[in-house]
Amino acid sequence: MSRRALTLLVAGFLALAFAVIGAMVPVPYVVLSPGPTENTIGDVKGKPVISISGHETYPTQGRLSMVTVAYQGGPGNRLDLVTALRGWLDPTVAVVPEESLFPKTSTPKEVEEQNTQEMTTSQESATAAALNALKIPIERTVKVVSTNKGAPADGKLKPGDEITAVDGTPATALDSVAGAVRKHKPGEQVTFTVKRGDSETQIPVSTIAGKDGTTIVGVTMQPSSGYRFPFKVDISVGDIGGPSAGLMFSLGIYDKLTPGALTGGMSIAGTGTIRADGKVGPIGGIEQKMVGARRAGATVFLTPADNCADAVKAVPEGLRLVRADTLESAVKAIDALRDHSGEVPACPAA
């Protein structure tokens, strides 16, 4: 065998060995890429993303698209070296340290549960924000987060239960629930009226003395973050999780509850968490979300103010960035774009 042939053979063997090792060696990174884009005023698999019953709704047009980020790697699915290297060479994706997204002790189940909970909270906050913007009255509720193992409430009250009353008195805030329990002496029973799913039931729970001497049942509740709405709003996006679609959900609900098409037929995408008061918050993966939005045909992208600096550095051609500080400002910006009137807040140039 000639020296050249031998060199090529050895080089080929080394390349193959590197590829095999690279495909097997796990690395603590996560690859972020553009994920699914769904129209919040449209359908997913033949089912409306937003369904409203018990209140008049109006026809819509165009698109108000939520955007997502897909990821490879993470707890229980460690990334291999070759995939990470490919990601570093692709300008539409990002490769980030795993610990920047997931706590070191997270399990796949915990990650899934957290994403699901964040999506549920986001949908509830989005509904509250839209109704508040339309001056439609809503009520606060109190929900069970968890129970202490071995405490009287353990096994009786469940995470997600909505406490509507205590001993027959309506539960309107966390303090009112805790105060009703503290009226009892340790060993007495307190009766919770609980809404679980579509049914409501009364659940008696014994009380005990807490470490500080107060009467407790051993339950952790969600303070002032649940809401009771005057009509039903259902949001369905399949197995997508996380909180960053809040702004687009609230705009979709707002559009369906108001006469006329908010977009005027435009294709608008956007992202941002949202609070019940309409404040829009920052998100992660802004670069990948913009790429996904443009690929889906969007020409306008609603951007949280805190993400503007990163967005202007990577905005795809043909996509106009519009700064969204609140739900109200986002609606006004869309009105101005649709009617070609007024100023539209933009992300400042870097």
Contact, 220 vs 154, CB < 8 A?
no
- Give the N- to C-terminal CA distance of the chain in Å, as an integer: 60
Residue 266 contacts by C-beta under 8 Å, 6 or more apart in sequence? Answer: 62, 63, 299, 300, 334, 337, 338
Task: Please confirm, yes or no, whether 289 is among the known catalytic residues.
Answer: yes
Structure tokens at 21: 């090792």
Q: Out of 143, 244, 250, 256, which one is annotated catalytic?
A: 244
DSSP letters, 90-125, are: -TT-EEEEGGGTS-TT--HHHHHHHHHHHHHHHHHH
Structure tokens at 162: 């909505």
Interatomic CA distance for residues 271 and 247, integer angstroms: 6
Q: Out of 289, 313, 329, 332, which one is annotated catalytic?
A: 289
Give CA separation, 346 vs 245, 307, 308, in Å.
Answer: 20, 12, 9
Task: Please confirm, yes or no, whether 135 is among the known catalytic residues.
Answer: no
Interatomic CA distance for residues 47 and 52, integer angstroms: 12
Interatomic CA distance for residues 271 and 253, integer angstroms: 15
- Residue 138: what residue type? I
**Residues designated as active site:** 244, 289
